Amino acid sequence: MQEKVALVTGGARRVGAGIVRELHAHGWRILLHYRSSRQDAQALADELNALRPQSVALFQLDLLQTAQLPELVAAAITNFGRLDALINNASSFYPTPLGKISEAVWDDLIGSNLKAPLFLAQAAAPELTKTGGAIVNLADIHVERPLAGFPVYTIAKAGVAAMTRVLARELAPQVRVNAVAPGVNLWPENDTDFDAAERARILATIPLGRNGQPQDIAQAILYLLEAPYVTGVILPVDGGRNVFL
């Protein structure tokens, strides 16, 4: 039996790299997409290909270039001959205070978080139908309780949740579509929005008493990929924080 193949967007660093490592450890082959983190992407591919030769391939693309998204699917077929899973992980995240929202930040946040995943899912659907595959999107627990100061990001992730349910219906029964909704995971890089006091306050609202780690999200994604009777689900991966928000 051929090893299954996953396309992971934004897979070079942070949560994306955790997803790639977890899937690879369970026998998946990976088309690892990146936008600008070429050095990190290459280092991760080299690391994993040393463990299992020719199991990870790279593809660079700005996902806002919608017309080029089918090239990602074609690259999976060219490198591995099939596609079994699409993981829409790539995301932009930054504040957009009301009164200062511009079309540029709208296009970037909606484009990276919602538009690109939808058009990429559309491009991948024919191949996933052939393999009985699955899509897993990255939503956010703040879809239900908006994060102050981040309205455009929150709107985009609310769209991801709706898109997940819509695609689950549209692509059934051949393709299952689910999402994970992370809570606090890795803090944003160059972070000026969550100081030490705010981080401590947030940590105090997490019943399991710790921030999440990339492996927590990756393990939830692996479950959704392997659960044959689960579709249209938005699975919180937040240590129980959604109970207290």
pLDDT in tens, 49-74: 999 999 999 999 999 999 999 999 99
The total number of structural domains that make up the chain:
1
Q: Please confirm, yes or no, whether 153 is among the known catalytic residues.
A: yes
Q: What is the pLDDT of residue 171?
A: 98
Catalytic residue among 94, 153, 223, 229: 153
- Domain region containing 228: 5-243
Predicted confidence at residue 198, as pLDDT, reads: 76
DSSP H helical ranges for 101-211: 103-110, 116-131, 151-171, 196-203
Mean pLDDT of 175-194: 80
Q: What is the per-residue pLDDT for 188?
A: 67
Residue-level pLDDT at 219: 97
pLDDT recorded at residue 39: 97
Instruction: Report the CATH number at residue 136.
Output: 3.40.50.720
Please report the pLDDT score of residue 91 as a whole number.
94
Reported as a single tens digit per residue, the pLDDT across 190-226 is: 666 667 777 787 777 887 888 889 999 999 999 999 9
Q: Is the bond into 146 cis (omega within 30 degrees of 0)?
A: no
pLDDT for 240 equals 81
Whole-number average pLDDT of the chain = 93
- Half-sphere exposure (Cβ direction) of 11: Cα atoms closer than 13 Å: 30
pLDDT in the model for residue 122: 98
Per-residue pLDDT, 204: 75
Q: Of 25, 23, 12, which Cα lies nearest the Cα of 225?
A: 23
**Is residue 205 classed exposed, middle or buried when 0-12, 13-18 and 19+ CB atoms within 10 A define those classes?**
middle
**Cα separation of 85 and 7, whole Å?**
6
The reported pTM is 0.93
